[in-house]
Amino acid sequence: MSATDNVRNICISHLPSGLDVDIIDYIVNMMEGEEEETEKREALEGFLLSCGVVESEDEATVQCRKLLDALAPLAAQAVDLSDTGLKVLSKATTMAALDGGEDAFREAGTELGGRLVSMDEALDSRKKRKAAEEAERRACKATYLRIAVQRQEEEAALQAAMARAVTLRRKIGAFTGQIEAKPFPLPNPGGGTPLLENASFTLVRGRVYGLIGRNGKGKSTLLRALASRTVGNIPPEVTVHYVSQEVQLDEAMLLWTPVQFVVHADIERRMLLEEQAR
């Protein structure tokens, strides 16, 4: 049985039963990571809470502690090369040399191995490592900026759709029919395969609907796209009040009270005040 199988079995036996396979796989990958135990504990506690596996932070702490204690013996196991039949390279070599039958291995033992590198080689290796770290930092920054711009564009489209709905409602009255969304795809904001393909739905007046799905499957993306009228051909005069999970705040908004946020959410009031000012 592989080390991954051992970790998986421990996770299954020490976490609540009935968990989705994807959740188990995610936790196994998390536990096999190279992070410190403190980082793993914090990440796991937050993940258990966000997935609804536990209902409180205290319960998340208890579940996480039990799992890490059960996994501790696996992490403490040392690998003995003399028992595995593995051999250690005695010097730097090439695949061509190995194909030629050169004896490039020495018996595994407790003595020190490896080779002493020159100062130039060590400095060159350090420069390459720093360059790789800098490239990763730039890539992360570029991704963050791309997502920030994307969020701003989505917010602008949402506000425009809400303002148009208010204007149309004044002209033609409130929408009272049923909403029939025509078949549509839902693009993945991160690129790649669409989150939904050929999706459609019907909403009947007077009924209450819920959207259920695992984390990361596109629930928030779908609701935001519907509110912005970018998918589904939703009638533009329908009033949609969308509450975002993420709020982008400028310096002025950081000083607002909760009441100010609630009042600001009323776009029709804002439009009337602007009209009055004009």
30 within domain boundaries: yes
| Residue 142 forms part of a structural domain | no
| Residue 60 and residue 18 in one domain | yes
The answer to whether residues 237 and 261 belong to one domain is no
CA 237, CA 63: separation in Å to the nearest integer? 49
Domain co-membership, 256 together with 214:
no
Q: Based on the fold, state whether residues 156 and 226 are members of the same structural domain.
A: yes
The answer to the question of residue 222 being in a domain is yes
Task: Print the domain residue range for 264.
Answer: 247-278
At 80 the pLDDT is 47
Q: Distance between alpha carbon 229 and the CA centroid of its chain, in Å?
A: 25
Residue 87's nearest CA partner among 111, 112, 104 is 104
Give the residue from 127, 128, 131, 89 showing the smallest Cα distance to 107. Answer: 89
Same domain, residue pair 200 and 221: yes
Same domain, yes or no: 230 and 251? no
How many domains is the chain partitioned into structurally?
3
pLDDT, tens digit, 9 for 90 and up, residues 50-81: 777 778 888 888 888 888 888 888 766 644 44
Q: Which of 49, 76, 103 is the last residue of a domain?
A: 76
Is 187 part of any domain?
A: yes
DSSP symbols for 215-275: TTSSHHHHHHHHHTTSSTT--TTS------SS----TTGGG--HHHHHHHT-HHHHHHHHH
Q: What is the mean pLDDT of residues 110-115?
A: 51
Residues 200 and 273 occupy one common structural domain = no
> Residue 88 pLDDT more than 70?
no
Residue 61 in any domain: the answer is yes
Asked if residue 231 is part of any domain, the answer here is yes
pTM score of the predicted model: 0.50
93 or 29: whose pLDDT is higher?
Answer: 29
**Cβ atoms < 10 Å from Cβ of 64:** 22
| Whole-number pLDDT of residue 114 | 54
Q: Are residues 25 and 40 in the same domain?
A: yes
Residue 112 lies in a domain: no
Average pLDDT over every residue of 136-144: 85
Where do we find the tokens 């932070």? Answer: 57
Q: Of 30, 46, 76, which residue constitutes the final position of a domain?
A: 76
What per-residue confidence (pLDDT) applies to 251? 86
User: In whole angstroms, how far apart are CA 75 and each of 72, 111, 131, 232?
Assistant: 5, 24, 32, 51
pLDDT at 94: 62
pLDDT tens column, 152-184: 888 888 889 999 999 998 899 888 889 999 899
Residue 114 lies in a domain: no
Q: What is the pLDDT of residues 215-241, one digit of tens each?
A: 878 898 899 999 998 888 888 998 888
Q: Give the model's pLDDT for residue 15.
A: 82
Q: Which amino acid is at 112?
A: L
Token pair recorded at residue 246: 């993420």
In terms of domains, do 224 and 169 share one? yes
The number of beta carbons lying within 10 Å of the beta carbon of residue 5 is: 10
Q: Looking at the structure, do residues 227 and 213 belong to the same domain, yes or no?
A: yes
Give me the pLDDT at residue 273, please: 93
Residue 137 has pLDDT above 60, yes or no: yes
